[in-house]
Structure 1
Amino acid sequence: MSAPDRPQPSPVAEGRIAQEQHCDAQPLSLEMLLDNLPIAVYRCLNDGQCTMKYVSNGIERLTGYSPATFLSHTGVTFSSIIHPDDRNSVERAIALAIQQERSFQLTYRIRCANGEQRWVFEQGSAPPQAGGRILEGILFDYTQLRKANMLVYEQASYLQQARDAIIAMDLNSRITYWNNGAERLYGWTAAEARSKKFSELLCENLPAYHAAYETTLANGEWTGELSHLRRDGVCIETDTRWTLLAADRESGAPQKILVISTDISERKHNEAKIYRLAFFDALTDLPNRASLLDHLRRALLGSARSRKHGALMFCDLDNFKYLNDSQGHAAGDMLLQAVARRLEHCVREADMVARLGGDEFVILIQPVEDTREGAAAQAETVATKVVAAMAAPFQLAEMNYSVSVSVGVATMCGVVDTVESILRQADAAMYQAKACGRNTYRFHDPAVQAAWSARAELEGAMRRALRDNEFVLHYQPQLDRSSRVIGAEALLRWRLPDGRLLYPAEFIHAAEESGLIIDIGRWVLRTACAELARWQRWPDMAGLTLSVNVSASQFIEPDFVPMLQGVFEETGVQPSSLKLELTESLVVSDFTQTARTMAMLKQRGISFSLDDFGTGYSSLAYLRKLPLDQLKIDQSFMRDVLTDQNDASIVRSIIALGDSLGLQVIAEGVETPGQRQFLSDAGCFIYQGFLYQHALSSENFTQYARMVH
């Protein structure tokens, strides 16, 4: 009978048996202790292969290989599982430590039985009594600790290299941490900044710093914008977050404040630039219309609550367009800038000067007075200053230029007034100032407002008339001493939808002030030239001339000559039969530009008549230098020429002057045979007036001209 099978030893038992065979005797209690440690304890030969003589059970937890695997000397050696990239450096480090008779500490990678890669930490030495032949040490798994260390390292690196400035300070404001971003942003190195007080080193606004500090202590954090100083003294804007850090986890006692700051100086600069573009006038640097409306709206809201009174003033430069047209826009811009500065000196610091556009400025006097009378008195003081300030000449490059201003004033209180009503009232008052001779100021009056509303309605009706072709031309004959028709004057009429005719006196002034006279004037010239071209196609009327009144504002338009040339080409008229009637006011206001434009048109065959001669301030020098063809005696002189010796003397002088200058003279307003005889005796032989005919429609004039031709 055979002996019963003996049970096979377990791998752990095999390892223990192997250790008993190959290791020097060790106390059993120590082995048991070592086997239960979460580390591997070893003793091996210093033979380059780390041939194990003893290894604890912890080696299996570390590598996945049993102790017997390493102790068998026929399978895997510990040296063989060291990562190939680390093996040589490990062997060299151990050899150097033994040579220098010191212990060694190493971290390196191994390949475990399951293919996993781990980091191990090894600490060992060579016992002196073994003569360097034996190594003893411990091994433990360093993988998780290394990952944690790497994470800490990476996070520290991220903090250090972050674009933002990251600073830590203690509760006494002393800086304890300063990353590279802070060095780039503020200019101080970490060594220079540490131990300095944050508040003293960086803070431009100490009250804001203290407010942020107190909020952080109370709430644990604070977020906002702070102004910080760079090393070079430049103030920069930062978007900043402060966080209170607790060092003691158990007590939670705060110890530090973490500060993270982002430079927003460029953003703030761009925001400020956008704001200025949106709310300030680029030329004068004054608040613009949008800014004015916003301030006016807020002033009225405050006034409604406080029941205080203020005022709004419209300031419009008189005849500014003449400067632009005669000296160019550069001179005009210089004047506007100089006017803006003078206006700013006329108001209190709390008040506002704005530019609406063109040559229009507005002054907002804040509502601080208890009554409208008090606000009016304050506004009158400012208006007086404004008118006086404009009286002194302006130095524009090499030129001295004088300008006046018309000011309209409207008092306001938010209880009853609105933005729209105040703007209308001040604008209406300004036009009242212009109507009173300019260079003055006027307060808003309800009657003036009613007139202004009527004018606005009239302006709208004129626009409709242009659109719907309601304007018509009538033609008043001009006759010679033989009562033969030699031409006509084109006179504007407005035929209303109900059939009534309006004469220029009823609407032309509003057209001038609104600027519609430019469009109406173009229509008149185009219609008149088309009529003249029609006459030129008929032999019995081809020799007639046609006079057309041209307003001053139209004649000085930069495109007047090209526009008129376009009319000639469009209608096919011969310009030699066209006569433009200009007023004395146009000649006097801008002689140089007027003479230049007349010369260009004269080259195209157009002739010129000086209308209303004797009513203005023409000088003989002007008459001599301008390419005029005709003087026209105003009908105001003709009315009493037979009964008023002064009028009679003026008419004789005009006729004599025209004769001496080689100019044809025509009299308008001739209504009686006696007036005609007076003119003939004085040497004037061309007439226009009711004695011969009223202004006629195109068809009726044609019949009349052919009848008396």
Structure 2
Amino acid sequence: MKPLFDVLIIEDSPADYLLLRRQLERRGVLGRCLHVEDDQALEQALREPWDAVLTDYHLPGMDIARIVRMVRAADPLLPVLLVSGSIGEERAVELLRAGLTDFVAKDAVARIPEALARALQEASDRRELQQAHAALAASEHKFRSLFDSTPCGLLGVDRESGTVLQGNRQARQMLGEVVGRSLDDIVHEQDLPALARRRAHAVAADAAPLQLRLQGADGHGFWAECDIAELAAAGEGEAPAQWVLSVVDITERKLAEDELRISSIAFESQEGLVVLDAAGNIQRVNQAFTAITGHTQKQACEESSTVLLSTGGDDALRRRVWRLIREEGYWQGEVVNRRRDGSLYSAWMTFSAVRNGAGEVTHYVGTLSDISREKEAQREIHRLAYFDPLTDLPNRRLLHDRIEHALAASRRSEEHAAVLLLDLDHFKKVNDSLGHNFGDDLLLQASERMRSALRAGDTLARFGGDEFVVLLEDLGSDAIAAGRHAERVGETLREALARRYQLGAQSLYCTASIGITLFRGRDATMESVLRHADLAMYRAKNAGRNSVRFFEPQMQTELNARNALETDLRAGLERGELVLHYQPQVDDDGYLIGAEALVRWNHPQRGLLAPGVFIGVAEETGLIVPLGLRVLEMACAQLRRWVELHERPMRLAVNVSSRQFRQGDFVESVLRCLRDAGVEASWLKLEITESLMLENIDEAVAKMDALQDAGVGFALDDFGTGSSSLSYLTRLPLEQLKIDQSFVRNLPEVRNDAMVVQTILAMAKGLGLEVVAEGVETEAQLEFLRRHRCDAFQGWHFGRPLAAEDFDDLLRRGVSWSVPPVAEEALRGYGA
């Protein structure tokens, strides 16, 4: 079958076009045909694919050379045949140079198919040749790109001479200009034999790369990993002209390997080492770690941080240490850890974070040293230096340090401390008659008795021979209270030491003489303290031994008086010597709204005593509890009498101490007093102090709620003098605040007191509480309080506290008693 040609015919004569087309159709070679007559039509037609272009030479308005150029611009290989008569040799050469493919004479139209086939074949050959050249160029470019972009250095080396024929970019960066250089100049001379041996076995695919030292571009040597490959031979049976040496810089890796070897040796040191991941899980431990802790690497990895920081079971310490490690990236310190067998040991530990290039923690490295022996040695050195070898009590040296510390603390706190110097009576006779072994046994028993009788924070020291010293700190700012406490401790020690001792088969008694001195840091030195205690101890010996004496005669006198007062108070409670006086409380309109019960002691020798004389002793000795209960009983009984005497009852306020309030049966005791007296709970109001809020607030609220449910009211007494908290005020079921008289006393002259009172009033109004001002004694104070909307008043301006019969008499008569005119109305409704 003949091939069909798509032919573009350029002809100005339609007749010639039809003749040419008919000839091609007759010969069966024409597939598609298009006739154009000008440049514009030609340009449009060339946008389509054609097998060949046939053109006439004589074309009015068109130049044959331009036609050829237009065709070549559209397709450089598209055959262009000129179908024309003779045009002359020179013109023909010019057109061939312009790109004309062939000539066909008009009188030889039969040759056109043959000419077309030949032209198309030539075009096809040229096209394939161009494609081959382009592929070769692309392959060459790709090879060169790959050769230069390869991350390792590549050297093409002459097989015979060892001269470098080519090198890629990476090789030039590592080695400098390499073309023309011999490998003998590049490879370290000690490594050339290894390179020669490898060349002889380059075909071994499983051969490991060589590690060679090469001369770098900067003149310094570097380690490289090198491999050899042979290029293909130029022809079959011929030896390759080149072989290729690959070069990879492994200097950093070699350094890392060296570091790793050093680290590996260092890792297995005498110090425990551990590596953890970022989450704190153990990854690796060394043999020293296993020897110290008893945990193998497998056990350590399984149990992780509890092995590393067992901290003797102190979970809070372990969490705190890990928090510091994660926050700071470093921690060091001493801990007590537990070995796998359960035994404890002292350890010094350090932890450091390992971070990557982005600053993120990837690992933690820890060191562990067993310092148990060092700690034990330190403890033994400390014990020998500061503790008595017989009794294991602090010795004179440590005692001096403790007293100096107590003096410094006392200077800051202004609180008293005390020193008790004890001397065993007739101890020398025991040593002389029974021997030193029995004397030592006696000293040991005596020291153990004293140790058992003291608080954990007290210091007991052996001062020397048969003398012991006790240091008591934080005894408060009240000298009398501090002295009483020191005296009680002295008596406790005296009684403990006076009991019988059993020394082997011997049974004997040995008493002690005890001297006491109180001191405060600003008034004393260590030497004066010990000297005064020594003098007091000799006073005890001179008094007949087996006794306790103070250095200060006045203190002894006051303590004696205090002891006598305590004895009398106990007897007075039993004999019913306590009585109540009542002070009226008046509202803003001058009406009597209630009274406060105030306890007095009708002492048989000293007469009527105010509470300031004996309440402190009652608080200190615990007598405040039965005293408070007695006051409640008398107050409830008085309420009952007022109900019987008058038309309506009087609201009575009773003070309750913190110690009394803390009693477990406090609620029941209050309700029992009300039941026994047969009075309504709403007639009773209990006044508590701010100190209750510093105790167990939840327990206080529960007790107050129980009593309030029964009808008992509550007032907060002496408000502003303690450590009040507004959050407590909102929780306590209070109905009233009482402004302490220390603020009222200076009204209205002292600006600060006035501001405090105004603040208390404003706050109480905001909380919905009534306010009673205590200690109102002048008209100016009353006017100020009224002006700032105080609800009620109490004080000598309205009347002093009166005995029960006097208060009853006034209520019965319905008249005023030494109070402002408003009080005349206050008694309205309380007549007999």
TM-score scaled by length of structure 2: 0.42
